[in-house]
Amino acid sequence: MMWTSFHAVRTWGEASLTVAQDSIAPDYFGGSVNRRFILLTTVGIVSVAVAGGLSHAWASGAQGSGEQELSAYSDEQPAEVVAQAFEYAGSSGLAPLKGEVRYPASGGKLPLVVVMHGYSGTVSAVVPKMERLAQRGVFAVGVQMRGRGGSAGTPDSGGLEILDIYDAVQYVLGHFADRIDPLNVNLWGYSGGGGNAFSCAVRFPDLFNQIASFFGISDYAYWYSTSSYADRIAAQVGGTPDEVPWAYASRRALEAVGNNPLSKIHIFWDEMESACNPWMNKEYLRIAEQLGLINVVGHESKTTQPQDERYIHGNNKPGVRRAEENILLPEIFSSQHRRELSLPDSGHLEVPGFVITRHFQLWVGSGVEGTMSVDYNMRPGEWCFRLVKGELAPNTQARLVCSRVPQTVEVNGTAASIENLSALQLPCEVTVGF
């Protein structure tokens, strides 16, 4: 098989450092670049749940001991598959939201793969993929996005609908705890689902071990200007990019590529892709490279490859093993992949509408009113947050929800006027104006 790829690998476990051999990877902007693959490892930390109606089913440090029955990858003897539909209520109160699962009838705890359908589609479009994954030892989940397939609500083009994916993951981790390995949570998305994958990468930076975006959307304003869906996008977002620029800014994953140095992120497309302009894939990769991230990989298939080895838009027929399975499944089942994710104790985040981590949440308005940037410090005895406004709708406030009472909350360089921070109850919620 042949494809163009940026490739870098990060794995986590006990403290160690491994440097692999040099390799040559094509540079999308001309020539080739030498890249040394560095495998970094570290120790995960015990999880803490956060609030605001979003209860996390994060894995704890005790679950990292390996003292549980885990199922192994099998490509030789496809398993008998259980098919089941489920309903859940979103953390925002939206209900019912719907989904489907496929998993082997027997075995231990399995890697979880969320498989996201396209912009206009439903779960039925990805059921063949879910069944293939289940036959090979994966617990596959299809999320019926709001306003589609019987789920309540209205689609909003990468806005609050992304929260439905987060809520579905929390639901299945809780309701199928005996069949899911909580240290191996992954997401694949196709087309509009690829856009969901980009959004999840930057908004939930410590949730997914692996994220794969297939011919996805990383910038909805750019997609508006280059696709045949402009009218539908504007209707769902609430206007054109000129009319509501903050709404498009909150849906622009490209502004927050640096949020996620943890998940292994794969980006797939074909050189002839036209529905979702490949610039959106290449730009995500360019920014990741510029930031020095080593966890993002690009895969561009060529017209010279066999048809079933190309990443052609919508090419997900029953019974066809897509070439990406040869890349993604061995990685998911590798011993290095199964790990607990956690952001550094201090760092910087860009907030495209909202960001949810193990320890805190950051919201701009309701989650679609613009952007802000945040410097945070979660070191013991410190817990400080410095918020700086980005592109905002008029009269927008910011909201911080966290598992500890912060010592200070600073907004645009000035300490926020919040009475008696130390008296706030846990989990605490602080709302501030810009």
Provide the pairing of β-strand 296-301 with 3-4.
antiparallel
Amino acid at 67: E
Amino acid 108: pLDDT: 94
Residues 378 and 326 in one domain: no
Average pLDDT value over all residues in the chain:
84
Residues 291 and 202 in one domain: yes
Phi, psi values for residue 42, rounded to 5°: -155, 180
Amino acid 71: pLDDT: 60
**Which pLDDT tens digit goes with each residue over 219-259?**
999 999 999 999 999 999 999 999 999 999 999 999 999 99
Which tokens belong to 346?
């201090």
Amino acid at 354: F
387 vs 1, residue with greater confidence: 387
Q: Is the pLDDT of residue 148 over 70?
A: yes
Residues 251 and 362 in one domain: no
Does residue 380 belong to any structural domain of this protein?
Answer: yes
Residues 271 and 407 in one domain: no
Distance CA 99, CA 309 (A): 29
Average pLDDT over residues 131-158: 96
Residues 10 and 86 in one domain: yes
Average pLDDT over residues 316-325: 68
Q: Is the pLDDT of residue 350 over 70?
A: yes
Distance CA 311, CA 300 (A): 8
Amino acid at 182: P
Q: Which domain holds residue 413?
A: 346-433
85 vs 44, residue with greater confidence: 85
Question: Which ranges in 230-345 belong to alpha helices (H)?
Answer: 230-237, 245-249, 279-291, 324-332
Give me the residues paired with residue 25 across strands.
33
Q: Is the pLDDT of residue 17 over 50?
A: no
Residues 326 and 356 in one domain: no
Does residue 150 belong to any structural domain of this protein?
Answer: yes
Amino acid 343: pLDDT: 96
pTM: 0.84
**Which pLDDT tens digit goes with each residue over 185-217?**
999 999 999 999 999 999 999 999 999 999 999
CATH of the domain at 325: 3.40.50.1820
Does residue 341 belong to any structural domain of this protein?
Answer: no
Looking at mean pLDDT, say which of 10-19, 65-74, 259-268 comes out highest. Answer: 259-268
Average pLDDT over residues 29-58: 30
Distance CA 111, CA 91 (A): 24
**Which pLDDT tens digit goes with each residue over 364-388?**
999 999 999 999 999 988 899 999 9
Q: Is the pLDDT of residue 28 over 90?
A: no
Amino acid 381: pLDDT: 84
Residues 288 and 353 in one domain: no
Amino acid 417: pLDDT: 72
Which tokens belong to 299?
């895969």
What sign results for the dihedral spanned by CA atoms 112, 189, 337, 80?
positive
Distance CA 360, CA 50 (A): 6
Q: Which of 302, 332, 362 is the last residue of a domain?
A: 332
Does residue 270 belong to any structural domain of this protein?
Answer: yes
Which tokens belong to 120?
């206009």
Residues 175 and 297 in one domain: yes
In this structure, the chain runs to a length of 434
Does residue 339 belong to any structural domain of this protein?
Answer: no
Average pLDDT over residues 78-103: 95
Q: Is the pLDDT of residue 160 over 50?
A: yes
E strand residue ranges, 42-145: 81-88, 97-104, 110-116, 139-144
Residues 327 and 366 in one domain: no
First to last CA, the chain: 52
Average pLDDT over residues 344-349: 97
Query: 75: pLDDT confidence band, cut at 50, 70 and 90?
Result: low
> Per-residue DSSP letters for 39-54?
EEE----------SS-
Residues 238 and 283 in one domain: yes
Does residue 340 belong to any structural domain of this protein?
Answer: no
Give me the residues paired with residue 376 across strands.
347, 385
* CB 117, CB 145: distance < 8 Å: yes
Provide the pairing of β-strand 370-377 with 384-392.
antiparallel
Strand (E) or helix (H) holding 184: strand 180-190
Which tokens belong to 282?
């290449």
Amino acid 334: pLDDT: 96
* CB 432, CB 416: distance < 8 Å: yes
Q: Is 292 helix (H, G, I), strand (E, B) or coil?
A: coil
Give me the residues paired with residue 24 across strands.
34
Does residue 421 belong to any structural domain of this protein?
Answer: yes
19 vs 312, residue with greater confidence: 312
Tell me 422's DSSP state: G
Total domains in the fold of the chain: 2
Q: Which of 300, 332, 364 is the last residue of a domain?
A: 332
Amino acid 76: pLDDT: 54
Phi, psi values for residue 46, rounded to 5°: -65, 140
Residues in Cβ contact with 93 at an 8 Å cutoff, skipping those fewer than 6 apart: 53
Query: 303: pLDDT confidence band, cut at 50, 70 and 90?
Result: very high
Amino acid 69: pLDDT: 61
Q: Is 4 helix (H, G, I), strand (E, B) or coil?
A: strand
Q: Is the pLDDT of residue 177 over 70?
A: yes
Q: Which of 267, 301, 332 is the last residue of a domain?
A: 332
Residues 319 and 351 in one domain: no
56 vs 77, residue with greater confidence: 77
Residues 236 and 369 in one domain: no
Does residue 337 belong to any structural domain of this protein?
Answer: no
Burial pattern 72-100, b for ≥16 Cβ within 10 A else e, equals eeeeeeebebeeeebebebbbebeebbbb
Amino acid 234: pLDDT: 98
Distance CA 115, CA 208 (A): 13
Q: Is the pLDDT of residue 32 over 70?
A: no
Q: Is the pLDDT of residue 43 over 90?
A: no
